[in-house]
Amino acid sequence: MRLFDLHCDTLYRAFTENKSIISNDFEISVDMGEVFDEWIQCMAVWIPDDVRGENAERLVENCYRLLLSELEKCNEQKRSVKKTDSVSDIKSKSNIMITIEGGAALNGKLENIEKYRKFGVRAMTLTWNGRCEIGDGADVENPKGITGFGREAVREMERCGIVVDVSHASDRLFFDVAEIAKRPFIATHSNSRTVCPHRRNLTDEQFEIIKSSGGIVGINFHRHFLAESNPSIKDIIKHTEYFLSLGGENTVAIGSDFDGGELSDDMNSIADMHKISDEFARLNYSETLIDKLFFKNAYNFYQSFDN
């Protein structure tokens, strides 16, 4: 089984809890990822809404240093895991791609976009749930959409090769981005608002816009985004099938939100990914389509974005 997961908070959690990404009691570790035939894991530096300014910038730098330190330990242990900046350069079985969750990481400085790209950052969620210099997140009442700085940031991200991520964006911010984006953009960890009417999920129109841009959408395992009550793996299937019904065969991917969300009772960690693929197989999904959902759609997106 191959897995390309567009979002987890494991790196942030390891830094803030002084733990390792290699072996831990989290929902993701390098040890757990060794079960996959090929594994690309996007690890986000989450910027909470109470972290701003220099503290936000410093958090990115500290998490980046931790990642390099952890990967050096992997080298010493002769483990096949690397940091990847481009899927075209992947030569390892296990690969970590760094992302940022929250545009407050920029500290209001456009030059930080190029700096973070040099760190290997491949995607940045424009906001978390609150307001930052780029615009308003999903929890902001009466959102005003994208700011002047946000418009410049989107242009600079596209120039530098950092993918614009609209998960957590308010609806106004989403549609502003859709209007100004020149390159494909994505929602790394967002579900269907039709299936589960949560403000963090995507409307049908939003999904169609991302699809039309050439972007992808990662299915989120957070229980409150799956169902209003008694969420389970079957709800992960429901969201996936609904997006597939909208023509998303080449658009739907995985954006687990491991180590950042609350899982359903029948999921504990990345070690349970086989439960989801087994359920798709039980429903007579082809191996080709299952591989698209779990790996190839995300891989193809980044390969295309880099060319």
Residue 89 pLDDT more than 90? no
**What are 240-278's pLDDT values in tens digits?**
999 999 999 999 999 999 999 999 999 999 999 999 999
Task: Give CATH for domain 2-306.
Answer: 3.20.20.140
Mean pLDDT of 101-113: 98
81 forms beta bridges with 94
pLDDT grade, residue 307 (50/70/90)? confident
Residue 91 pLDDT more than 90? no
**What are 30-72's pLDDT values in tens digits?**
999 999 999 999 999 999 999 999 999 999 999 999 999 999 9
How distant, in Å, are the alpha carbons of 43, 189, 243, 258, 278 from that of 273? 17, 16, 19, 11, 9
- Residues whose CB is less than 8 angstroms from the CB of residue 305 and which lie 6 or more positions away in sequence, other chains included: 161, 163, 183, 184
Provide the phi-psi class of 107: left if phi over 0, else alpha when psi is between -120 and 50, else beta.
left
> What pLDDT is attached to residue 87?
94
Q: Quote the pTM value.
A: 0.98
What is the gyration radius of the CA atoms in the chain, in angstroms? 18
| Measured distance CA(101)–CA(98) in Å, rounded | 10
